């Protein structure tokens, strides 16, 4: 489907946006080497935009003296690197590295404590600018989002590719930071593309070359395949996407369940996920008021488990997931305590909701008696980004697979066909549960997950 009258042989310069009739190496107008050419350049509409070394770039913007210095953002409570500028990365500094190790690799680095409020502000500015391109912006984190630009060419009088290049230029000029753009026909490859040429990158992956391109990439390129799951695959002799491309769908599904099906499709560049806007105003939760007050862990954990399952069931039914887990407690003197934790990835799994809720609950077990317990998730997103196979640990991944299996049994035989150790025989303790759909959780202690 042609979406523009542009000749596919025509490229354009990312610096001055001048169209280039012949695939010259440098721009005919400004001499910039940043000229884009691609057979499908004017057919592709799905973009992923990610800011370059985000926190570090913001700090460099605000202090020109740092421009030529290696900068590391981090420290604080956990003593790890949040991010490092590209100069520091040359020395091997990486996100999540312990700070002492980072400083061993790059002793001359300037270390700056994160200023989250500032980064949120800048992230919001970038997002607002994205929303001027299209209403279909799906934020993924503080510094990145997917954008669907189909149907925007009349508005911008430009094909999506050129609109995106103009956007990157505008972010540099008006906000003072840089972004990288990935353009493709699906979300998976748009995300892969945005990472290919960082910083200030603009990469295009078309339909024609997708399978070939993926063939030589490591399996970790696939969204959700992190360290733990990659190790599982490696044990089975699979390290490259090309190997997945040669496997049967049934074989992959037999080995890895639903994740196998995802591997089958993504390895072939098949990704039907749409760009969705995020509805962050709502939450899904369930709560229970007890017949008598409780302070002991076992009782509260059992109730928490069954409430988590209820929340998860509702999330799954609606194909949504929550990024933040919210625990709510009411003491005997009617004081409400809410505790939040933001997860690495959104979840729709009872197991993750429960375990996150339990760790929040355990800190409140100081002998206080509670008359109400609630659990929920907020920051709702579409379920397609939820629970990547590489959950924090392999045990959690196994429990996730088990949960999917239990869901299937329950779908067929009813909710009580399977009871877990935590809920078995304990459902009578509580009064009928009250649900609170679509309610904003009260603000409570917030902490990074």
Say if residues 193 and 215 touch (Cβ distance below 8 Å). Answer: no
Residue 220 touches ligand TTP, criterion: CB under 6 A:
no
Nearest of 307, 305, 274, 306 to residue 381 by alpha carbon? 274
Q: Which does 96 bind (CB under 5 to 8 A by kind): Mg ion, ligand TTP, none?
A: ligand TTP
Residue 129, judged by CB atoms within 10 A of its CB (0-12, 13-18, 19+), counts as middle
Closest approach of ligand TTP to the CB of residue 180, in Å: 7
Residue 166, judged by CB atoms within 10 A of its CB (0-12, 13-18, 19+), counts as middle
Q: Binding residue for Mg ion (CB under 5 A) from 35, 41, 44, 51?
A: 51
* Count of residues engaged in binding ligand TTP, rule: CB under 6 A: 15
Nearest of 406, 345, 388, 403 to residue 229 by alpha carbon? 388
Q: Which does 198 bind (CB under 5 to 8 A by kind): Mg ion, ligand TTP, none?
A: ligand TTP
Q: Which does 213 bind (CB under 5 to 8 A by kind): ligand TTP, Mg ion, none?
A: none
Closest approach of Mg ion to the CB of residue 72, in Å: 15
Closest approach of ligand TTP to the CB of residue 83, in Å: 3
Residue 294, strand partner residues: 370
What is the three-class DSSP state of 250?
A: helix
Residue 50 touches Mg ion, criterion: CB under 5 A:
yes
C-alpha 168: how far from chain center: 21
Say if residues 98 and 78 touch (Cβ distance below 8 Å). Answer: no
Residue 59 touches ligand TTP, criterion: CB under 6 A:
no
Q: Is 144 a catalytic residue?
A: yes
Q: Binding residue for ligand TTP (CB under 6 A) from 27, 53, 210, 266?
A: 53
Closest approach of ligand TTP to the CB of residue 109, in Å: 14
DSSP string, 68-126: TS-EEEEEGGGTEEEEE-HHHHHTT--TT-BHHHHHHH-TTPEEE---HHHHHHHHHHH
Residue 147 touches ligand TTP, criterion: CB under 6 A:
no
Q: Binding residue for ligand TTP (CB under 6 A) from 43, 59, 143, 403?
A: 143
Residue closer to ligand TTP, measured from CB, 57 or 283? 57
Q: How far apart are CA 320 and CA 381, in angstroms?
A: 6
Residue closer to Mg ion, measured from CB, 89 or 355? 89
Which position among 21, 65, 144, 197 bears the catalytic label? 144
Say if residues 374 and 441 touch (Cβ distance below 8 Å). Answer: no
Q: Binding residue for ligand TTP (CB under 6 A) from 54, 146, 185, 370?
A: 54
Say if residues 313 and 419 touch (Cβ distance below 8 Å). Answer: no
Say if residues 13 and 35 touch (Cβ distance below 8 Å). Answer: yes
Closest approach of ligand TTP to the CB of residue 248, in Å: 34
Residue 198 touches ligand TTP, criterion: CB under 6 A:
yes
Q: Which does 229 bind (CB under 5 to 8 A by kind): Mg ion, ligand TTP, none?
A: none
Question: Which 69-108 positions form the footprint of ligand TTP (CB under 6 A)?
Answer: 82-83, 95-96
Residue 47 touches ligand TTP, criterion: CB under 6 A:
no
List for the chain the helix, strand, coil content (%; round to 5): 40, 25, 35
Residue for token pair 């502000």 = 121
Any binding-site annotation on 43? Answer: no
Tokens of 34: 């940043």
Q: How far apart are CA 352 and CA 308, in angstroms?
A: 9
Q: How far apart are CA 49 and CA 165, in angstroms?
A: 11
Say if residues 143 and 186 touch (Cβ distance below 8 Å). Answer: no
Residue closer to ligand TTP, measured from CB, 62 or 249? 62
Closest approach of Mg ion to the CB of residue 204, in Å: 19
Any binding-site annotation on 393? Answer: no
Per-residue contact flags (x/-) with Mg ion for residues 132 to 151, judged by CB under 5 A: -----------xx-------
Binding interface with Mg ion (CB under 5 A): 50-51, 54, 143-144
Output the known binding site for Mg(2+): 50, 143
Binding interface with ligand TTP (CB under 6 A): 50-55, 82-83, 95-96, 142-144, 198-199
Q: Which residues are catalytic?
A: 144
Output the known binding site: 50, 143
């Amino acid at each position: 489907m042609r979406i523009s009258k542009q000749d596919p042989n025509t490229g354009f310069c990312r610096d001055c946006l001048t169209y280039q009739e012949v695939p010259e190496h440098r721009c005919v107008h400004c001499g910039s080497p940043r000229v884009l050419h691609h057979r499908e350049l004017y057919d592709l509409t799905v973009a992923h935009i990610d800011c370059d070394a985000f926190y570090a770039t913001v700090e460099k913007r605000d202090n020109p003296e740092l421009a030529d210095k290696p900068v590391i953002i981090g420290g604080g409570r956990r003593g790890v690197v949040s991010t490092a500028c590209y100069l520091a990365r040359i020395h091997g500094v990486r996100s999540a590295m312990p700070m002492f190790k980072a400083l061993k690799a790059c002793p001359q680095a300037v270390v700056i404590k994160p200023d989250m409020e500032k980064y949120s502000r800048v992230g919001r500015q970038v997002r607002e600018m994205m929303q001027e391109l299209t209403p279909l912006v799906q934020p993924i984190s503080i510094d990145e989002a997917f954008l669907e630009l189909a149907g925007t060419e009349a508005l911008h009088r430009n094909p999506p590719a050129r609109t995106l290049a103009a956007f990157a230029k505008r972010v540099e000029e008006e906000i003072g930071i840089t972004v990288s753009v990935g353009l493709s026909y699906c979300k998976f490859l748009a995300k892969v593309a945005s990472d290919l040429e960082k910083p200030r990158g603009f990469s295009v992956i078309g339909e024609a070359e997708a399978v070939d391109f993926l063939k030589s990439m490591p399996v970790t390129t696939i969204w959700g395949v992190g360290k733990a799951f990659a190790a599982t695959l490696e044990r089975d002799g699979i390290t490259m996407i090309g190997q997945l491309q040669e496997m049967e769908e049934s074989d992959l599904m037999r080995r890895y369940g639903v994740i196998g099906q995802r591997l089958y499709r993504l390895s072939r560049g098949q990704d039907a996920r749409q760009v969705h806007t995020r509805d962050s105003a709502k939450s899904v939760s369930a709560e229970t008021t007890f017949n008598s007050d409780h302070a002991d862990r076992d009782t509260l954990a059992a109730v928490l488990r069954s409430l988590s399952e209820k929340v998860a069931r509702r999330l799954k039914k609606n194909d949504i997931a929550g990024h933040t887990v919210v625990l709510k407690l009411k003491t005997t003197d009617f004081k409400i305590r809410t505790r939040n934790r933001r997860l690495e990835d959104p979840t729709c799994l009872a197991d993750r909701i429960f375990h996150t809720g339990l760790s929040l609950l355990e800190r409140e077990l100081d002998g206080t008696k509670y008359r109400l317990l609630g659990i929920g998730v907020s920051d709702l997103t579409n379920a397609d980004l939820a629970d990547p196979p590489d959950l924090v640990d392999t045990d959690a991944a196994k429990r996730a697979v088990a949960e999917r299996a239990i869901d299937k049994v329950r779908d067929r035989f009813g909710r009580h066909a399977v009871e877990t150790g935590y809920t078995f025989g304990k459902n009578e303790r509580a009064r009928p549960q009250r649900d609170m759909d679509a309610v904003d959780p009260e603000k409570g202690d917030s902490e990074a997950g």
